[in-house]
Structure 1
Amino acid sequence: MHGSLKRILTGAGFLSLTLVIAVAGYRLSGWSLLDSIYMVVITVFGVGFGEMGPMTPQLRIFTMLVIIAGCTSVGYIFGGFFQMITEGEINQALGARRMTKEINTLTRHVIICGYGRIGQILARQMVEAKQPFVIIDNNLTRIETAEAMGFLVRLGNATDEGILESAGIERAKVLATVLPDDAANVFITLTARGLNPNLIILSRGEYPSTEKKLRQAGADHVVLPAEIGALRMSHIIRHPAALSFLEETVDGSSLNELLSQIDVQVDELAVVSGSPLIGSSISTVQVRGKGTFIVVALRRVDGTTLINPSHNVHLAEGDTVIVMGHKGDIPKFAHHYALKRQMRWRGDVVQGQS
């Protein structure tokens, strides 16, 4: 682009200089100012209505030089314009090809359908978490904004199977559809579930009545922004001191960071194949832990979560036990019972065999 712009400016400068010299030449030959300007214009732009005054041999040679210089300048300017257009198209094509190539290399990435207010916040969070993602939106302005941020994008309707496939939905880990249109979110959820049965789908719902439809379409989690906002306002009204404590303690750090100050953490212990805890009850797990932690939740292999599960609930292969306890004790317990441990720390999940 810089080369083509420089070419245009050079041509314009040379043309201006040619016009000034040409007018001065005709004036020196005794022509009036108007006749000189008129002669220069019809000469440079090839109109050629005829001479406006007496033409000496020297003036004819001068006129030929004006024609050559003027036509060369105009051609140089138009060449710069064509170069600019061509470069833009080529760069656009190369950029699209590069982006397609990058998307094709992604695995276990996140697809964000919609780059509105929620989509933009979600994209920033993915950047902070260093989680690769692709944005889909049918609005060219929003796509250009996302592309200017360096994000991988796809322009099109997320309800189209071809667009979802171009975003690598077969290899994706999570799809988040955050459009303000519930009907579109339901259709996207249904389409995405058909393309990737193992995909984790997060769907936005504007109305509580839509939650059931989204889950029937295949959504694993439904987020209702209006309900979340109302609940937060309710908590501020009913429990202002507790909420302020959680938000402001330790310079606004997360709950896990706060717990770490007292040597406590929240962990996930996945019950793997061959674990001696398969078939054991929650009470057995806590007894074997010798009081070093408490079980706060149980996520079943089918994805359902039991908060504060009953002591009589039994574990199965593939279940995940969410516990809270001292940092040094949980790894020992996991190692002893051959559990796959997923430690939650500062909001991230770090997997490690212990």
Structure 2
Amino acid sequence: MSGSSSIHKMRLGMFVLVGTSVSAVIGYTLAGWSVLDAVYMVAITIFGVGYGEVRPIVDPGLKVFTLLVVVTGCSSGIYVLGGFVQMIAEGEIQRALGARRMSRGIEQTSQHAIICGYGRVGQTLVTELRTSGIPMVVVDRNADRLAEAERDGVFVVVGDATDEVVLKRAGIERASVLATVLNGDAQNVFVTLTARDLNESIQIIARGESVATERKLLRSGADRVVLPTMIGATKIANLISCPSVETLVGDAGAFARMNQDLEAFGLGMLEIPINAKSALAGATIKDIELTGDGGNVVVALCRDHGEVLRNPKHSDVVSAGDRLIILSHKEDLPAVTRKAAQESGTMVYRGTKYTS
């Protein structure tokens, strides 16, 4: 509101100043002065230069007119200048107050997440965490990028995340987790080292670009390392080798997280194409789930004509041209894959060909 008030003041002052200048030029012109002399007289009068009158002013009416030009022009000019100064001062005060409020807000926050880096990955991460309602503080050297997050109500700290002072301003002593998603591997390693030194119990999740960096980050104190390049490659591989699984799951992020969670529990998901010579052609879902030690679950049956049966019945029969989406313990995968490939010769499991 105060910012708009100063702008309104400047606009009003400019309107009066321009109106006074135009009226004065017209008045002097009507008094018999040339346009150039009139403009020159108005300029030195309003802006207080005072080089002297262009022509001697002996007419009382012209003297009164000049006096009005001086008062009105100088007053409107000062009014414009005052509005400009007010706008600058208010902006500086608001920034100072905003920084103070931000500092107090961070000081009162605990068990929060610290996000180091507000690039593409950082922005996506902040969006996800805001949806989850998790309190957070974003640290980045680019003040322009942080301004957007600040407008959205996110606590921000401008500075280098490898600096201990900056991390302390972000409340690392009270934070529960720190995610460093900077573009450079070296920066993420330094942030990890600094954060672990400041808070031994904080959970650190770091972004890396290679397996070698992953080892360095883990040795530096990271609890978990995320490799976006590897995730992207796995995503593309899944699109190529298991299109039906990808269609079934739908969301790419959920599919990647699902695969990681399955591997942690020793599980795997595979897609089995059924051809006319496959031993599973003509078998029921019950027969397939009993293959091996009974640890197989047919998640979906993709018919040859495009229909997808999620959670098919035990009595459903598998036909040639269908595709099976099976969830199983890894030790049970060879049995079902050998059964399916008994006559066909090859099948695909997560991009790897198996030969009977």
* TM superposition score normalised by structure 1: 0.69
C-alpha contact 1:189 1:219 (8 A) present in aligned 2: yes
Residue 253 of structure 1 deviates from its aligned partner by: 11
Residue 61 of structure 1 deviates from its aligned partner by: 2.5
**What corresponds to 2:5 in structure 1?**
3
Residue 155 of structure 1 deviates from its aligned partner by: 0.3
2: CA distance between counterparts of 1:166 and 1:231? Answer: 38
1:209 is paired with a residue whose SS is: helix
1: CA distance between counterparts of 2:170 and 2:79? Answer: 42
1: CA distance between counterparts of 2:254 and 2:161? Answer: 34
After TM superposition, list the pairs within 5 Å mapping 1:1-354 onto structure 2. Answer: 1-55=3-57, 56-247=59-250
2: CA distance between counterparts of 1:245 and 1:150? Answer: 37
- The CA RMSD over aligned residues, in Å, is 2.3
Residue 52 of structure 1 deviates from its aligned partner by: 2.1
Residue type matched to 2:176 in 1? Answer: K
2: CA distance between counterparts of 1:188 and 1:149? Answer: 25
The CA deviation string for residues 133-178 of structure 1, in whole angstroms up to 9 with x for no partner, is 1100001221122223322110000001111011111111110000
Stretches of structure 1 that go unaligned for 5 or more consecutive residues are 259-307, 311-354
Deviates more, 1:152-161 or 1:227-236: 227-236
2: CA distance between counterparts of 1:253 and 1:35? Answer: 75
Residue 4 of structure 1 deviates from its aligned partner by: 0.6
List structure 1 runs of 4+ shifted beyond 4 angstroms. Answer: 252-255
**What corresponds to 2:343 in structure 1?**
none
2: CA distance between counterparts of 1:119 and 1:84? Answer: 34
2: CA distance between counterparts of 1:96 and 1:175? Answer: 22
C-alpha contact 1:247 1:253 (8 A) present in aligned 2: no
1:154 is paired with a residue whose SS is: strand
37 and 212 in structure 1: CA distance in 2 versus 1, 3 angstrom threshold: same
99 and 309 in structure 1: CA distance in 2 versus 1, 3 angstrom threshold: farther
**What corresponds to 1:293 in structure 2?**
none
1:136 is paired with a residue whose SS is: strand
2:211 is paired with a residue whose SS is: coil
Count of residues in correspondence between the two structures:
257
Stretches of structure 2 that go unaligned for 5 or more consecutive residues are 259-328, 332-356
2: CA distance between counterparts of 1:62 and 1:83? Answer: 31
Residue 231 of structure 1 deviates from its aligned partner by: 1.3
**What corresponds to 1:349 in structure 2?**
none
Deviates more, 1:206-215 or 1:44-53: 44-53
Residue type matched to 1:232 in 2? Answer: K
The CA deviation string for residues 259-281 of structure 1, in whole angstroms up to 9 with x for no partner, is xxxxxxxxxxxxxxxxxxxxxxx
Residue 92 of structure 1 deviates from its aligned partner by: 0.5
1: CA distance between counterparts of 2:121 and 2:26? Answer: 65
The CA deviation string for residues 98-146 of structure 1, in whole angstroms up to 9 with x for no partner, is 1111111111110000000110110010011011111000012211222
Residue 309 of structure 1 deviates from its aligned partner by: 12
1: CA distance between counterparts of 2:235 and 2:146? Answer: 31
* TM superposition score normalised by structure 2: 0.68
Deviates more, 1:140-149 or 1:185-194: 140-149
1: CA distance between counterparts of 2:67 and 2:85? Answer: 27
The CA deviation string for residues 168-211 of structure 1, in whole angstroms up to 9 with x for no partner, is 11111110000110111001001101111110000000121111
The CA deviation string for residues 15-36 of structure 1, in whole angstroms up to 9 with x for no partner, is 0111122122212322222221
Identity of aligned residues (%): 49
189 and 253 in structure 1: CA distance in 2 versus 1, 3 angstrom threshold: closer
2: CA distance between counterparts of 1:225 and 1:19? Answer: 64
1:202 is paired with a residue whose SS is: strand
Residue 44 of structure 1 deviates from its aligned partner by: 0.9
1: CA distance between counterparts of 2:135 and 2:75? Answer: 51
1: CA distance between counterparts of 2:122 and 2:254? Answer: 23
253 and 195 in structure 1: CA distance in 2 versus 1, 3 angstrom threshold: closer
